[in-house]
């Protein structure tokens, strides 16, 4: 074989790059498509291996074009071409069926933006390769990954993508369209969206920094409450744990979800805050006995004023739901808020109640403005 490669090397000294590319393409196609005898196959393989070091990209590209789509291509040739200049590496990384997951992960870790995007666009991409992209790839490659319906992206990879690229509007938009997106990651992306909107000069100049923070916080709370309504039971604990760890299980948030009738999320939140089993917490919430409920509030770190308010809100919801065969959830939510104002409105001067009543007033205004806002929100979502 050494003599064969020496002869080929001597020929290469006088042959043009175009002629060398033609010969290499012919040998590569013969190797994968023809039924060559073993000795000729060995000779062709030796020449192709030698040609990996050809100084002309035209020659190496000719080899890549011949081998990239074949499952019979020698793996060492394909793997070497995947480490070549970007144009050649992209072709091989996007198409070759002989590259293993380990090869693809190496390309992602060691390659540039082009090869990373090529790997991200491969059909039926495995979880480990997606994880490597989520951990190391730039925004362009991660956009390709998220747009790839055949890519298997695990929950941890989704979380890493949100951490690294959640503030990138283009990546975030694609991320929110994924059907396999865990609820806690979706909520994180909603927070990033709120932060991005709040950081725009137009919003800050119109509302002022302090007002902007309040508007963004309220919008994120509303979005999270709506998200929780659609969460599968199996995902509820994960969403609540995420909210707790990120400091979002505030009194304001709990009041919001109770007033809107999301008792499942409320009970799950109290379980996370108190450390008590979910079944026990739910029994206390549903039963509504004052002593047990107040003890649960104290264990959850909530004020006495908030506890009285929350217990009353749960009781009003129970009464409203049990008394009506058919009901409008939005109408009941508005009724709950109005009755709470009626019950606690004269307690503004007591410790803790002024803030709760102020929050309730804001929630009531949001509830009343909801139908008017819907067309604009639909246009913004589009």
Q: Tell me: do 81 and 18 sit in the same domain.
A: yes
**Low-confidence residues in the chain, pLDDT < 50:** 371-382
**Chain centroid, CA 133 distance in Å:** 13
Output the pLDDT for position 289: 87
Q: Tell me: do 339 and 301 sit in the same domain.
A: yes
345 located within any domain: yes
Output the pLDDT for position 141: 97
Going by C-alpha positions, the residue among 47, 94, 96, 93 that lies closest to residue 67 is 96
Torsion of CA 161, 165, 169, 174, to 10 degrees: -20
CB-side neighbour CA atoms (13 Å) of 343: 17
Q: Tell me: do 339 and 281 sit in the same domain.
A: yes
215 located within any domain: no
Q: Tell me: do 255 and 154 sit in the same domain.
A: no
244 located within any domain: no
Q: Tell me: do 268 and 156 sit in the same domain.
A: no
Q: Tell me: do 271 and 345 sit in the same domain.
A: yes
Output the pLDDT for position 375: 45
Output the pLDDT for position 98: 97
Q: Number of folded domains in the chain?
A: 3
Given 74, 96, 118, the domain boundary residue is 96
Within 8 A by CB and 6+ apart from 303, the residues are 251, 297, 352
Output the pLDDT for position 52: 95
167 located within any domain: yes
The pTM for the full model equals 0.74
Output the pLDDT for position 205: 59
Output the pLDDT for position 84: 96
What is the C-alpha separation between 357 and 354, in angstroms, rounded? 5
With beta carbons less than 8 A apart as the criterion, state whether 363 and 258 touch. no
34 located within any domain: yes
Longest Cα–Cα distance of the chain, Å, equals: 101
Q: Tell me: do 151 and 256 sit in the same domain.
A: no
Q: Tell me: do 104 and 92 sit in the same domain.
A: no
Output the pLDDT for position 62: 96
82 located within any domain: yes
288 located within any domain: yes
Q: Tell me: do 68 and 81 sit in the same domain.
A: yes
Helix, strand, coil shares of the chain, percent, nearest 5, are 75, 0, 25
193 located within any domain: no
The CA angle 335-336-338, to the nearest 5 degrees, is 65
Output the pLDDT for position 2: 55
Q: Tell me: do 92 and 157 sit in the same domain.
A: no
137-142 long-range CB contacts below 8 Å, 24 or more apart? Answer: 137/108, 137/113, 138/113, 139/165, 139/168, 139/170, 139/171, 140/113, 140/116, 141/113, 141/116, 141/117, 142/171
- Domain of 339, in residue numbers: 249-382
Q: Tell me: do 84 and 139 sit in the same domain.
A: no
Given 155, 181, 207, the domain boundary residue is 181
């Amino acid at each position: 074989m050494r003599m064969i490669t020496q002869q080929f090397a001597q020929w290469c000294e006088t042959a043009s790059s175009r002629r060398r590319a033609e010969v290499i393409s012919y040998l590569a196609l013969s190797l994968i498509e023809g039924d060559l005898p073993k000795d000729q196959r060995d000779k062709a393989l030796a020449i192709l291996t030698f040609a990996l070091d050809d100084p002309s990209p035209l020659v190496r590209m000719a080899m890549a074009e011949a081998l990239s789509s074949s499952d019979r291509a020698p793996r060492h040739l394909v793997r070497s071409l995947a480490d070549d200049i970007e144009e050649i590496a992209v072709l091989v990384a996007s198409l070759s069926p002989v590259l293993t997951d380990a090869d693809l992960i190496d390309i992602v870790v060691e390659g540039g933006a082009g090869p990373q995007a090529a790997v991200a666009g491969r059909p039926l991409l495995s979880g480990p390769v997606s994880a490597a992209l989520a951990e190391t790839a730039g925004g362009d490659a991660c956009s390709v990954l998220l747009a790839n319906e055949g890519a298997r992206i695990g929950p941890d990879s989704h979380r890493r993508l949100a951490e690294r690229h959640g503030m990138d509007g283009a990546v975030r938009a694609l991320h929110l369209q994924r059907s396999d997106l865990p609820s806690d990651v979706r909520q994180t992306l909603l927070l990033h969206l709120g932060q991005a909107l709040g950081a725009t000069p137009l919003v800050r100049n119109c509302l002022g920094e302090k007002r902007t923070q309040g508007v963004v916080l309220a919008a994120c709370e509303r979005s999270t409450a709506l998200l929780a309504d659609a969460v599968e039971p199996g995902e509820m604990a994960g969403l609540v744990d995420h909210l707790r760890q990120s400091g979002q299980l505030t009194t304001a948030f709990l009041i919001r979800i109770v007033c809107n009738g999301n008792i499942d999320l409320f009970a799950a939140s109290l379980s996370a805050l108190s450390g008590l089993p979910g079944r026990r917490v739910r029994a206390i919430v549903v039963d509504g006995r004052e002593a047990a409920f107040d003890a649960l509030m104290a264990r959850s770190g909530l004020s006495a004023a908030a506890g009285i308010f929350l217990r009353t809100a749960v009781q009003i919801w129970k009464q409203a739901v049990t008394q009506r065969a058919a009901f409008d959830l939005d109408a009941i939510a508005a009724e709950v808020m109005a009755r709470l104002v009626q019950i606690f409105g004269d307690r503004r001067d007591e410790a803790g109640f002024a803030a709760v009543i102020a929050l309730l007033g804001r929630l009531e205004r949001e509830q009343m403005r909801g139908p008017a806002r819907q067309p604009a929100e639909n246009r913004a979502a589009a």
